[in-house]
Amino acid sequence: MVGPRRPQFVLFGSSIVQFSFGEEGWGAILADIYARKADIFLRGYAGWNSRQAVEVLDQVFPKDEAVQPSLVIVYFGGNDSVLPSPDGSSPHVPLPEYVENMRKIATHLKSLSEKTRLIFLTAPPVNEAQILQVLGTKGRKNELCKKYADACVKLCREMNIKVINLCTTLKQRDDWLTTCFTDGIHLSRIGSKIVAKEILNVIMEADWKPSLDWESLPVEFG
């Protein structure tokens, strides 16, 4: 560790998290805004589903660490909602298991510290035609994305967790299909800016004490 110690924000999820530190990605935007105020840690694993996430919870978020995250932003669901494949190679996770996996993730993270705050991101919509053209696959369907997103929102309301429904957030743009993705799945610069803005709004409006809003945090050596 290097000092002085700042609040720690952890981004935990699959490829949308792993790629978020790319040029103008939503993770990079947060790191820039919180410069000298909080440290943003990336724990993104492309291709992963919620089942794999549950298996590594104790390694990524050990309960016996003296310093625990102030905020964890969790994203799983996009890969879980992919159609199952006959050979079992798909990352598909059945909806009931996905919900229970997300419950396990939330329960573990809540146990880290009384001051560890959570924001869950749901599965986003997809551009099915662009996926077929760029990736040559038909395994991702908006109908399934919405089912998994709705289930995540329901769980978060039940567990009193802040949640951003990416299926509705990205669709606030009339041209979301053609502007929010690089390949029909992963976020473009425009898509990332929308996600970052929503995260910042949730943090600003939350009644967390202490506040994690970037304007409320002190500037290191300021």
Residue 106 structure tokens: 């939330």
Distance, CA of 206 to CA of 192 (rounded, Å): 21
Q: Which one of 108, 183, 188, 213 is the catalytic residue?
A: 183
Q: Which residue has the tokens 């990079």?
A: 28
Closest C-alpha among 72, 63, 98 to residue 84: 98
Q: Which one of 14, 50, 70, 192 is the catalytic residue?
A: 14
Query: Burial code of 172-189, b = ≥16 C-beta within 10 A, e = fewer?
Result: eeeebbeebbeebbbbbb
Q: How many residues does the chain have?
A: 222
Q: Which one of 15, 80, 92, 186 is the catalytic residue?
A: 186
Which amino acid is present at 91?
P
Alpha helices in the chain (DSSP H): 15-18, 26-33, 50-55, 57-60, 95-110, 128-135, 142-158, 166-169, 176-179, 189-205
Closest C-alpha among 80, 10, 33 to residue 52: 80
Give the number of other CB atoms < 10 A from CB of residue 161: 19
108 as an active site residue: the answer is no
14 as an active site residue: the answer is yes
Which residues are tagged catalytic?
14, 183, 186
